[in-house]
A and B are shown apart, each in its own frame.
Chain A
Amino acid sequence: MEEKKLLKGNEAIAEAAIRGGCRAFFGYPITPQNEIPEYMSFRMPEVGGVFIQSESEVSAINMVYGAGGAGARAMTSSSSPGISLKQEGISYIAGAEIPCVIVNMVRSGPGLGGIQPAQCDYFQSVKGGGHGDYKMLVYGPNSVQECVDIMYTAFDKAFEYRMPIMILGDGMLGQIMEAVTLPPMKDFSNVPNAEWATDGTRYGADRRVVNSLYIQPDDLEAMNHKLFAKYDVLAEKECRYEEYLCDDADVIITAYGTVARIAKSAVDMLRASGVKAGLLRPITLFPFPCDRFARLAAMPNVKKFVSVELSMGQMVEDVRLSVNGMKPVEFYGRCGGNVMTSEDIAEYITKEGK
């Protein structure tokens, strides 16, 4: 049954994961995502699921590997330095084609950095992150409700494509409280285990192996091509974005996650002062909405793009690749845990526009 509740982003994600069928959670404490493991620690036993506070992020992601490889809907959550530690495991998970969900409530870096919101993990999320040629389906939700909606279907996507999925939030999104509609509990009790899962019931010729080792170059090359063929399907079927007032815009602001909400207010301010601004908000960061950027870039009214981020400029590189020199692409960002205001963005656009 649907339910309306006032929830913190982190708690909402945890509850949506459970309603989406997650029955195994492995995590290690790190600010600002601690509400997720805390919530899972009492909620999982209520639904007959598994919760372990592991000894490290490294261990947590490898528990996800084991449980996911055995066919369970398994997930972990962390924040930036912890995600760096998980990257080894994520690479193995991608290579072994294990479905799972990883939530990253990004904090500022590099190094120990700070605990305030940031978007400086864009690169390590959408470009692969760990060793080897692989990608993940990466979502950048901008509200607690969107966190819930994406988390609720994330496992279905993970199993459909047999790949890890990352939900890329930030400290703000994890900590903010908003009213959300929680979807009903999905029931997987009668769903047979996946046809590749090592559930231990097979011997001899039928036995299953979860593995990412391909010692023959031709085999590994074929595996890489298989993975990338899936990414082509993602680009075709799973790419999502939201547009606001782009049709007649002179300036296209682009931002994802909570920053997109700030940018949307900036668009309204700019419009009120006579500047024709629009907003293109990627919802999937991989696959990136390259085609939509290219089409907007080809429109004569569009003069330039401005990528607004809580980083030193990461997504802007994908915007530049998509726009491919057709129009100028600028960057405006804050970092270190600082967050720009709508006025900051509007001021940047008005000043730079002159």
Chain B
Amino acid sequence: MAIVFEKPKMLTDKPTHYCPGCTHGLAHILTAKAIDKLNAKKVIGVAPVGCAVFAYEYFNCDMQEAAHGRAPAVATGIKRVIPDAIVFAYQGDGDLASIGMAEIVHAAARGENITVIFVNNAIYGMTGGQMAPTTMIGQKATTCQSGRDVALNGYPIHVSEMLSQLQGPCYIERVACYDVKHIKQAQKAIDKAFQNQVEGRGFSMIEILATCPTNWGMSPQDSLKYVEDVMCKVYPLGVYKDTTKEEA
């Protein structure tokens, strides 16, 4: 018998602190598997502030822990001084799309040759379920307890759509992890996002629609269903930008 599925080498043996059923774990595994495939000599990751704040304990490479929202700037600093390293930033929706909006937009606009893994679960998980920049209209959060009201809170931000309007990025795709088929599609997207960096093609970002069973107040199974039935309607999956196709 041969092993057909095992833990990626790019993950440490430390159990994660994520809640049961949280798909941050899947995003870690997919990212780690993509890096495993590269056989890179140098890899440096940047962890965010938010639920993934301890990502530096889980990825089995050199890591830097950035201030809230600043991961793309930190990754830029690293990549520019060690251009032959694979540099990735791992960020949540509050980190990337709220406090760190300037950093992600400008890293994308510069076409910075880094890979960004953007985990969008439409809520602030670590701080206890507050409204996120990606919280959907009508979705409940502890700071919009009757549901997000456009009159009060405005509209959620569609990051992949927005960044794809810039000239800088090479590759932007939104994926989801609600079943095995979509996990495999997500893996392909993340693989490509890292391969683009190896080939020096510039900024790639994969937005992963993820669950937050704890703060959504749902079971892990129901959370997956919510991603499929609700989130994917608001945030359609797909490739939003791919300059590698334009070149071909």
Question: Which residues of A line the B interface, CB within 8 A?
Answer: 23-24, 26, 50, 52, 54-56, 58-60, 62-72, 74, 88-89, 92, 96, 198-204, 207-213
Check: B46 CB closer than 8 A to any chain A CB. yes
CA distance A69 to B64 in the complex (A): 7
Chain B 1-31 near chain A by CB (<8 Å), digits 1 or 0: 0000000010010000000000000000000
Interchain Cβ contacts under 8 Å between A and B, 8 examples: A23-B81, A52-B80, A55-B103, A198-B78, A199-B42, A200-B85, A207-B62, A209-B57
Complex interface bits, B51-69 against A, C-beta within 8 A gives 1, otherwise 0: 0010011001111111100
Inter-chain contact count A-B, CB under 8 Å? 138
A59-B60 in contact given A66-B46, A198-B44, A199-B42 (Cβ < 8 Å): no
Across-interface contacts of A212 in B (CB, < 8 A): 65
CA distance A213 to B49 in the complex (A): 10
Residues of B at the A interface (CB closer than 8 Å) are 9, 12, 41-44, 46, 53, 56-57, 60-67, 70, 73-82, 85-87, 102-103, 105-106, 110
Could you tell me the distance between the alpha carbons of A59 and B44 in the complex, rounded to whole angstroms?
Answer: 19
**Are B77 and A63 neighbours in the complex by a CB distance under 8 Å?**
yes
Q: Which residues of A contact B53 (CB under 8 A)?
A: 213
Please indicate the chain A residues that have their CB under 8 angstroms from the CB of B80 in the complex. Answer: 24, 50, 52, 63, 67
Mostly, the B contact residues are: mixed
Known: A55-B102, A55-B106, A92-B67. A74 touches B62 (CB 8 A): no
For the complex, give the distance between the alpha carbons of A62 and B67 in Å: 8
Expressed in whole angstroms, the minimum distance between the Cβ of B89 and any Cβ of chain A is 10
How far, in angstroms, from A56 to B76 measured CA to CA in the complex?
14
Docked-complex contact A58 and B63, CB < 8 angstroms: no
List chain A residues, Cβ under 8 A from B70: 58-59, 62, 65, 89
A66 touches B64 (CB 8 A): yes
Distance between Cα atoms of A202 and B41 in the complex (Å): 9
CB–CB B67/A66 < 8 A: no
Contact of A204 among B60, B63, B67 (CB under 8 A): B60
Q: Indicate if the CB atoms of B66 and A209 lie closer than 8 Å.
A: no
Within the complex, which residue of B44, B65, B79 is in contact with A211, where a contact is CB–CB below 8 Å?
B65
Q: Identify 8 new A-B residue pairs, CB closer than 8 A, beyond the known A74-B81, A200-B42.
A: A55-B103, A66-B75, A67-B78, A70-B64, A198-B64, A203-B9, A203-B43, A208-B62
